[in-house]
């Protein structure tokens, strides 16, 4: 029944030790051998995501930057790309300068920020990504980017999110990947839009797709998929819209999904 599975990485595919367990890796390999298209759908940059994809033996296009970029692992051909509108990026930079907010962006898959601080250091330790400092950030903002990211306290981000939606307008999509990460993309740069595009690319109907995730940024993808799966460790809002809640990322929740819905094993 299902032909395509899109899986978030952080707190979904990988456990709290930042690893894909042997049991989950084996389940993914079995699904691929059975002809299922297994892909990743992540907020991470392509450079970071592709390293994980290759570790688990995938060779298909993967969804990155919250859905703003789909790129093929085999030949790195770009299948789908949406950039943050330049005017919105410039307004966002001005707002962040005025309110002393940490802002970072990606140009040609490289991470840039205005200054070296503990926020960028912690972020890059989490994603194992190098970064570049550019004090004249207007120069960077003028270039096409799939994603901009503000890092701050969750309460502050919740407070400014509606302000930024009003300021930047309907041409952008604003979401959270983690409580302290507020992410800004093109309005079609969502995992939901990307999943629809990828399903069309492979000739699948949306009824034949599964999407699994844990956080706010997975919302559109779960709603678009034929079967939307929330992890056991997912935020309550995602569990509410999910068709199925699996075990947590530390309990091989993805393996459980593959066993149940691809191979009809277990319950």
111: tokens are: 């991470």
SS (H, E, C) 122-157: HHHHHHCCCEEECCCHHHHHCCCCCCEEEECCHHHH
CB 101 within 8 A of CB 149: no
Q: Which regions of the chain carry the CATH code 3.30.1240.10?
A: 86-186
CB crowding 14-36: b at 16 or more within 10 Å, else e: bbeeeebbeebbebbeebbeeeb
Of 3.30.1240.10, 3.40.640.10, 1.20.120.1750, 3.90.1280.10, which CATH number belongs to 86-186? Answer: 3.30.1240.10
Cα 187 from chain centroid? 14
- Between CA 248 and CA 255, with CA 254 as vertex, the angle to 5 degrees is 110
Cα 244 from chain centroid? 20
Whose CA is closest to 193, among 52, 81, 58, 38? 81
Q: How far apart are CA 133 and CA 118, in angstroms?
A: 13
Q: How far apart are CA 21 and CA 252, in angstroms?
A: 7
Give residue 267's pLDDT: 57
pTM: 0.94
Average pLDDT of adjacent 10-residue blocks, the chain of 267 residues: 97 95 96 97 94 91 98 95 98 97 96 96 89 96 97 98 98 96 98 98 98 97 98 98 98 98 85
CB-based contacts of 250: which residues, under 8 Å, 6+ apart? 15, 16, 233
Q: How far apart are CA 189 and CA 56, in angstroms?
A: 25
Per-residue DSSP letter, 62: E
CB 6 within 8 A of CB 233: no
Q: Which regions of the chain carry the CATH code 3.40.50.1000?
A: 4-81+189-261
CB 115 within 8 A of CB 104: no
Q: Which CATH superfamily is domain 4-81+189-261 in?
A: HAD superfamily/HAD-like (3.40.50.1000)
Please give the backbone phi and psi of residue 113, each rounded to the nearest 5 degrees, phi first. -145, 170
CB 230 within 8 A of CB 238: yes
CB 42 within 8 A of CB 64: yes
14: tokens are: 């990988």
Give residue 129's pLDDT: 87
């Amino acid at each position: 029944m299902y032909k395509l599975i899109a899986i978030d990485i952080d707190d979904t595919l990988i456990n709290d030790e930042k690893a894909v367990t042997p049991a989950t890796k084996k389940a993914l390999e079995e699904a691929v051998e059975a002809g299922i298209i297994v892909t990743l759908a992540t907020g991470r940059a392509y450079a970071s995501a592709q390293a994980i994809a290759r570790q688990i033996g995938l060779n298909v296009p993967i969804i990155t930057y919250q859905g703003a970029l789909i790129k093929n692992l085999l030949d790195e051909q770009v299948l789908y790309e949406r950039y943050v509108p330049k005017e919105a990026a410039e307004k966002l930079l001005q707002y962040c300068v005025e309110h002393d907010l940490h802002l970072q962006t990606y140009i040609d898959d490289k991470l840039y920020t205005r200054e070296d601080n503990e926020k960028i250091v912690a972020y890059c330790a989490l994603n194992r990504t190098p970064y570049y400092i550019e004090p004249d950030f207007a120069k960077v903002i003028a270039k096409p980017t799939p994603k901009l990211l503000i890092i701050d306290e969750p309460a502050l981000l919740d407070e400014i999110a509606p302000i930024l939606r009003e300021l930047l307008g309907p041409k952008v999509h604003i979401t959270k990947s983690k409580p302290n990460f507020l992410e800004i993309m093109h309005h079609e740069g969502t995992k939901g839009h990307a999943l629809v595009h990828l399903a069309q690319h492979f000739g699948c109907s949306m009824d034949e797709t599964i999407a699994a995730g844990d956080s706010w940024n997975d919302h559109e993808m779960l709603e678009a998929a034929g079967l939307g799966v929330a992890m056991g460790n997912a935020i309550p809002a995602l569990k509410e819209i999910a068709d199925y809640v699996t075990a947590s990322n530390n309990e091989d929740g993805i393996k459980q999904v593959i066993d149940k819905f691809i191979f009809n094993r277990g319950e």
